[in-house]
Amino acid sequence: MNSFNSIYNTPNIGSVEIRSPSKERDIHGILELQALNAPANLSEIEMNKEGFVKRRPLTSYAVIKDGQTCIAKAFRGSGLLERLYARMETGTP
Q: What is the spatial distance between Cα 93 and Cα 88, in angstroms, rounded to a whole number?
A: 8
Contact criterion met (CB below 8 Å) for 53 and 68: yes
**What's the alpha-carbon Rg for the chain, to the nearest Å?**
14
What is the reported pLDDT for 44? Answer: 87
Domain borders along the chain are: 3-90
What is the reported pLDDT for 53? Answer: 67
Contact criterion met (CB below 8 Å) for 25 and 59: no
Q: What is the pTM of this model?
A: 0.55
**Where would I find the H helices in the chain?**
3-7, 24-36, 44-49, 80-90
Q: What is the pLDDT of residues 30-88, one digit of tens each?
A: 999 889 888 889 898 988 888 776 767 767 766 656 667 888 888 888 888 888 888 87
Q: Is the dihedral of CA 63, 70, 76, 55 positive or negative?
A: positive
